[in-house]
Amino acid sequence: MLSNIIAICNQKGGVGKTTTAINLAAALSAVGKKILIIDLDPQGNASTGLGVEYSNRKKSIYEALAKSIPFDESIQQTQLENLYIVPSNVELSGIESELANDKDKAFILKSLLNNSTTIKTFDYIFIDCPPALSLLTVMAMTAANSVLVPLQCEFFALEGLSQLIKTVDRVQKNLNPELSIDGIILTMFDKRNKLSTQVAVDVKKHLQEKVFDTMIPRNVRVSEAPSFGMPVVIYDRKSKGSQAYLKLANEIIKKNDNREAA
């Protein structure tokens, strides 16, 4: 079986990409799935949120993309048994200009994954993208089978989404025919806030089965966890935020089982 490679994308910052990457990965690893997170954001928030020290970020996705180390050497285990990460460091912010003249630049990550010997041992691979529809995000979409879009329940959410969908369509047409959006996860949902509820209703009306049933509530425990270098599903398993990510993990496993059965 080929691994499931999921790019977590939204060109807006602060919508819950990294939080979703970390917690979905931790929730899936807790039920015995072997998971890899590729931190593709120069800010390295996923690396920090999973407790990777700065001194342990020298073999990062940057070195792998720049071909100064083999991709498999950039993979390291986190504190969690089934959860591995390729960390990022700030040098990654220079990769786009370094690769400016490489005509195959969109395919670099894909070919690293194709040529990796350990990649096939992972059940799911999550790519945490930077907040831009830049080369790094296009690389992630070219390497992935599906795009997971965290959407914050606020007024401008849908506006950004149409641009994102256009980018996915373009990558699907020109670079990666396998790619689809699967799906949209509503984040930071606040049921006491009318606008939050209205956005959720609108998104579900427009995008229907693309939207996961599970919504991630706004929950302070979710925002506290990264400063302890832990996913919230470990930091406070009983919190509302944790319970939602555990539910989302089940939804993803079910979707995947259905797809494999079909």
Ligand X SMILES: Nc1ncnc2c1ncn2[C@@H]1O[C@H](COP(=O)(O)OP(=O)(O)O)[C@@H](O)[C@H]1O
**Residues at the site binding Mg ion, with contacts judged by CB under 5 A:** 17-18, 45
**Which residue, 89 or 116, is less far from ligand X as judged by CB?**
89
User: d(Cα 127, Cα 38) in Å, to the nearest integer?
Assistant: 5
Contact between 113 and 125 (Cβ < 8 Å): yes
Which stretches of the chain are DSSP H helices? Answer: 17-30, 45-49, 61-65, 95-98, 108-114, 135-143, 157-174, 194-207, 220-224, 232-235, 240-261
Report, in Å, the least distance between residue 247 CB and ligand X.
Answer: 13
* Options 13-21, 101-109, 119-127, 138-146: segment touching ligand X (CB under 6 A): 13-21
Tokens 């959720």 belong to: 200
Report, in Å, the least distance between residue 15 CB and ligand X.
Answer: 4
Side chain identity, residue 28: L
Q: Could you say which of Mg ion, ligand X, none residue 125 binds, taking C-beta under 5 to 8 angstroms by partner kind?
A: none
Contact between 9 and 147 (Cβ < 8 Å): yes
- Of 119, 128, 122, 140, nearest to 29 by C-alpha is 122
For residue 258, give both structure tokens: 């259905």
157 binds ligand X (CB under 6 A): no
Report, in Å, the least distance between residue 249 CB and Mg ion.
Answer: 19
Show the site string, 129-148: x = touches ligand X by CB under 6 A, - = not: --x-----------------
207 to 246, contacts with ligand X by CB under 6 A?
216, 218-219, 222-223, 226, 241
Among 14, 163, 169, 257, contact with ligand X (rule: CB under 6 A) = 14
User: d(Cα 210, Cα 20) in Å, to the nearest integer?
Assistant: 17
Q: Could you say which of ligand X, Mg ion, none residue 188 binds, taking C-beta under 5 to 8 angstroms by partner kind?
A: ligand X
Report, in Å, the least distance between residue 111 CB and Mg ion.
Answer: 25
User: d(Cα 86, Cα 66) in Å, to the nearest integer?
Assistant: 14
Among 187, 214, 242, 243, contact with ligand X (rule: CB under 6 A) = 187
> Half-sphere exposure (CA, 13 Å, Cβ side) for 170?
11
18 to 47, contacts with ligand X by CB under 6 A?
18-19, 45
Q: Could you say which of ligand X, Mg ion, none residue 241 binds, taking C-beta under 5 to 8 angstroms by partner kind?
A: ligand X
* DSSP-derived 3-state class of residue 176: coil
- With CB under 6 A, what is the number of residues at the site for ligand X? 18
Q: Which residues of this protein are in contact with ligand X, per CB under 6 A?
A: 13-19, 45, 131, 187-188, 216, 218-219, 222-223, 226, 241
